[in-house]
Structure 1
Amino acid sequence: MLDPFGREARKIVKDEFGGITELLMVIPSYVGIDAALERVRWINSGEVPKGILELDDVRDLLTFYALLGALAFSPYGLEMELVKEASLGIYSLKIETAETMEGTSVPLEAVRGDYIPPRDRAILERTHHTELSPEEKKNLRLEYRIHLSKFLELWDGSLKEVYIRKGYAYLTRGQAVELWKRAFERNFDRAVNLLYEVRDELPGYYFRLYEELGKIAREHFKERLEKMGRAEAQPLRFDLFPPCVKMALGGVPAGLRNYAITVLLTSFLSYARICPNPPRRDVRIRDCVQDLSVVEKEIMPIIIEAGNRCSPPLFEDQPHEIKNIWYHLGFGLTDKPTLEDSGNSPWYFPPNCSKIRANAPELCKPDRDCRNIKNPLTYYLRKLYLENRKRKENEQAEGAENEGKGAGMEGEGK
């Protein structure tokens, strides 16, 4: 399989299995946990096993989606980083050796000779530059084109780097591969987000696979584990909250108060602060904390302040709503909870974006980061993940810069 998100892969998933959900249900019967882990175990050696590269299309999809199913339990953590890195390595190698990239998830088509004026082609491909080797000339050859609207969705470089003609961007093989990598990462994130919503329905096989992935990920990333950070309890990052939560924090009018404060804000803040990546939906607060201080001193004041910003103030107008807040936190209908009360009612999970749009459409004002996101908590997890990755990249760049300066000073000393 050249691309697990490509046209042929989608056809197999739909025609032979009936869809992704159905595919995930049958995978445990066909793929052992060790067989799925073979797709990532090679990563420390840097050499993809020949057996992985030679899997038939169906077996390739089964083992790939087995790992995606496991990532439903940790959509933005080291496990995802590991699987994405290993999968990019596998499919990049397959694409490098393939005759064509047509049929991947990027809508590329081969360039015919009459698409580009001969003079333009001669300039762009430097066909008259005799000093260039055949390999260098091959790398300059424009092999694919893609409609400009699709191209702009993925490209983040300068348009000056690309030949554009009659609504199409023309690409070298190298540029097409880079575009495919961006599409792969986008499709990968989208798939994991979708599976996060159905993880409670998945067989126990996937959680066991996730636990094994965690062991490999911690070993692979052991040098930067602390810097990278994981989606565990930590102080809230208000700047990374989704638009609906920020709106609820600012106070809302009467018709939205109960939903915005009691349903959305209470669930989001409590999970984001205490248990941002719960292993299951029936988790209780007492499974995550040893006392109620974090709830009483950090979460409840924020909820009450947001309620007081409403018009009219929620808790002045409906003082009994405090009991409802504790009920949604899983302590039953009370205003004087103890840790032992945790579990007397469900600890409500943040509502999905579709439910927010249906029940409180005024709260749903999506920004560009809401694309492919199905739940406000997933939005927050993704932003935390990207923030940590950006910090790591900056630290690595600073380290390389300092090493370069040190080497320069050393040279001057000589």
Structure 2
Amino acid sequence: MLDPFGSEAKRLVKEEFGGINELLSIIPSYIGIEHALERVSWIKSGEIPEDILELSDIQDLLTFYALLGALAFSPYGIEMELVREANIKIYSERIRRASKIEGTAIPLKIVERDEIPNRDRTILERTHHTELPPSEREKLRLRYKTGLKKFLELWDGSLKEVYIRKGHAYLTGEQALKLWEEAFEKNFEKAVNLLYEIRDELSTYYLQLYEKLSEIAREYFKERLERMGSAEAQPLRFELFPPCVKIALGGVPAGLRNYAITVLLTSFLSYARLCPNPPRRDVRVRDCVQDLSVIEKEIFPIIIEAGNRCSPPLFEDQPHEIKNIWYHLGFGLTDKPTLEDSGNSTWYFPPNCSKIRANAPQLCKPDRHCRNIKNPLTYYLRRLYLENRKKGEREEGGGSG
């Protein structure tokens, strides 16, 4: 298979398995954990095993989606980085060997010889440069075209590198492969976000696979880990918060106060600071901290300040709402909690974007980072991941940015 998000893969998922949920439910019966890990365990050596490259379409889908299911327990961590990198290399190598890229997730068409004026071909493909060996000429040949709109959504290079004519971008084989890699990353991230929402429904197989995957990732990124960081408890980065949270922090009118402050802000800030990547949704605060000082010194003051910015101020108007804050943090209805009280009520997880749109549409003002995001916490995780990734790349390259 050349692309797990391509048309053939979609057909198999739908017709052979009945959908993603059904596919995930049967994978544990067919794919052992060690077998699934073979898709990534080779990466340190740099050599992709032939049996991985020659997997049948069904086996390919099963092992690929097994890893995606594991990532539902840790989106935007080093595990995701590992799986993404390994699979881009696997599918890229298959595409190169097949010498074609049709049927993947990007709409590409073969370029006919008479589509491009001879003068342009002569310049772009250097057809008169007889000193060039055949292999170099093949690299310069414009083989594929795609609609300009789709191309601009994916391409992150300079437009000067690409031949554009009549609403289409014309690409060499390597340019088409680069475009496919961008599409793969976007589809990969979208799939992980979708599975994150149903992780509580996944079998323990996927959690066990995630734990093994994490071991491989930590070994592979051993030298990078300190520079890159990870999605673990750390000081809050307000500039990376989603728009809905920033609006709530600024204070809201009376009709929005309880939802914005007690429901959204309390859950988001507490998870983002204490447990940004919880392995399950029934986690308690005492599973993540040794005392309440972080909540009392870093989280509660932010919530109180945001409440005071509301019109009218929330806690002046409704002083009992302080107890409700602690209730949403999982300590029961109290204003003087102890760590032992953690678990007396549910530590509420941040509401999904769909619920925010339904219950408080005034808070939902999406920005460009909101695309494919289903929960404010995954927005924050994604921004942290991208920042840490850029930092790691800069330091590895010896630059300062």
Structure 1 position 99, deviation (Å): 3.1
Show the counterpart of 1:220: 220
1:106 aligns with 2:76: no
1:332 aligns with 2:332: yes
Instruction: Name the aligned partner's letter for residue 70 of structure 2.
Output: A
Between the aligned partners of 2:292 and 2:210, the Cα distance in structure 1 is 30
Between the aligned partners of 2:117 and 2:89, the Cα distance in structure 1 is 36
1:260 aligns with 2:260: yes
Structure 1 position 122, deviation (Å): 1.7
Show the counterpart of 2:207: 207
Task: State whether residues 227 and 395 of structure 2, in contact with CA within 8 Å, keep that contact through their aligned partners in structure 1.
Answer: no
Between the aligned partners of 1:179 and 1:92, the Cα distance in structure 2 is 11
Show the counterpart of 1:236: 236
Show the counterpart of 1:153: 153
Show the counterpart of 2:269: 269
Task: State whether residues 328 and 347 of structure 2, in contact with CA within 8 Å, keep that contact through their aligned partners in structure 1.
Answer: yes
* Paired residue secondary structure (1:74): coil
Show the counterpart of 2:307: 307
* Paired residue secondary structure (2:145): strand
Instruction: Name the aligned partner's letter for residue 297 of structure 2.
Output: K
Instruction: Name the aligned partner's letter for residue 281 of structure 1.
Output: R
> Against the structure 1 CA distance between its residues 58 and 298, is the aligned structure 2 distance closer, same or farther, given a 3 Å change threshold?
same
Q: How does 1:358-369 map to 2 (within 5 A)?
A: 358-369=358-369
Q: Normalising to structure 2: TM-score of the pair?
A: 0.99
* Paired residue secondary structure (1:145): strand
User: Unaligned regions of 5+ residues in structure 1, if any?
Assistant: 402-414
Between the aligned partners of 2:158 and 2:72, the Cα distance in structure 1 is 35
Instruction: Name the aligned partner's letter for residue 60 of structure 1.
Output: D
Between the aligned partners of 2:14 and 2:182, the Cα distance in structure 1 is 24
Instruction: Name the aligned partner's letter for residue 201 of structure 1.
Output: E
Show the counterpart of 1:50: 50
Instruction: Name the aligned partner's letter for residue 254 of structure 2.
Output: A
Show the counterpart of 1:398: 398
Structure 1 position 400, deviation (Å): 11
Show the counterpart of 2:319: 319
Q: How does 1:366-377 map to 2 (within 5 A)?
A: 366-377=366-377
Say which is worse superposed, 113-122 or 202-211, in terms of deviation.
113-122
Between the aligned partners of 1:72 and 1:38, the Cα distance in structure 2 is 19
Task: State whether residues 3 and 105 of structure 2, in contact with CA within 8 Å, keep that contact through their aligned partners in structure 1.
Answer: yes
Between the aligned partners of 1:157 and 1:256, the Cα distance in structure 2 is 43
Between the aligned partners of 1:39 and 1:51, the Cα distance in structure 2 is 10
Give CA-to-partner distance per residue, 1:250-279, whole Å, 9 cap, x none. 000111100000000000000000000011
Q: How does 1:372-383 map to 2 (within 5 A)?
A: 372-383=372-383
* Paired residue secondary structure (1:257): helix
* Identical counterparts, % of pairs: 78
* Paired residue secondary structure (1:142): coil
Between the aligned partners of 2:348 and 2:372, the Cα distance in structure 1 is 23
User: Unaligned regions of 5+ residues in structure 2, if any?
Assistant: none
Structure 1 position 224, deviation (Å): 1.5
Structure 1 position 27, deviation (Å): 0.4
Between the aligned partners of 1:52 and 1:98, the Cα distance in structure 2 is 15
* Paired residue secondary structure (2:113): coil
1:192 aligns with 2:192: yes
Instruction: Name the aligned partner's letter for residue 108 of structure 1.
Output: L
Between the aligned partners of 2:396 and 2:70, the Cα distance in structure 1 is 29
Between the aligned partners of 1:397 and 1:352, the Cα distance in structure 2 is 38
Between the aligned partners of 2:254 and 2:399, the Cα distance in structure 1 is 53
* Paired residue secondary structure (1:269): helix
Instruction: Name the aligned partner's letter for residue 197 of structure 1.
Output: E
Show the counterpart of 2:34: 34
Between the aligned partners of 1:248 and 1:328, the Cα distance in structure 2 is 16
* Paired residue secondary structure (2:307): helix
Between the aligned partners of 2:104 and 2:96, the Cα distance in structure 1 is 13
Show the counterpart of 1:136: 136
Show the counterpart of 1:119: 119
Instruction: Name the aligned partner's letter for residue 286 of structure 1.
Output: R
Structure 1 position 399, deviation (Å): 6.2
Between the aligned partners of 2:111 and 2:209, the Cα distance in structure 1 is 43
1:81 aligns with 2:67: no
Instruction: Name the aligned partner's letter for residue 117 of structure 1.
Output: P
Task: State whether residues 394 and 400 of structure 2, in contact with CA within 8 Å, keep that contact through their aligned partners in structure 1.
Answer: no
Q: How does 1:283-302 map to 2 (within 5 A)?
A: 283-302=283-302
Between the aligned partners of 1:7 and 1:18, the Cα distance in structure 2 is 15
Between the aligned partners of 1:276 and 1:244, the Cα distance in structure 2 is 17
Task: State whether residues 108 and 145 of structure 2, in contact with CA within 8 Å, keep that contact through their aligned partners in structure 1.
Answer: yes
Task: State whether residues 232 and 277 of structure 2, in contact with CA within 8 Å, keep that contact through their aligned partners in structure 1.
Answer: yes
Give CA-to-partner distance per residue, 1:382-405, whole Å, 9 cap, x none. 11111111111111222699xxxx
Task: State whether residues 228 and 389 of structure 2, in contact with CA within 8 Å, keep that contact through their aligned partners in structure 1.
Answer: yes
Between the aligned partners of 2:158 and 2:388, the Cα distance in structure 1 is 26
Structure 1 position 114, deviation (Å): 2.1
Give CA-to-partner distance per residue, 1:82-108, whole Å, 9 cap, x none. 111110111110011113211001110
Show the counterpart of 1:407: none
Between the aligned partners of 2:250 and 2:298, the Cα distance in structure 1 is 17
Between the aligned partners of 1:321 and 1:149, the Cα distance in structure 2 is 49
Show the counterpart of 1:16: 16
Between the aligned partners of 1:99 and 1:174, the Cα distance in structure 2 is 11
Q: Normalising to structure 1: TM-score of the pair?
A: 0.95
* Paired residue secondary structure (2:115): coil
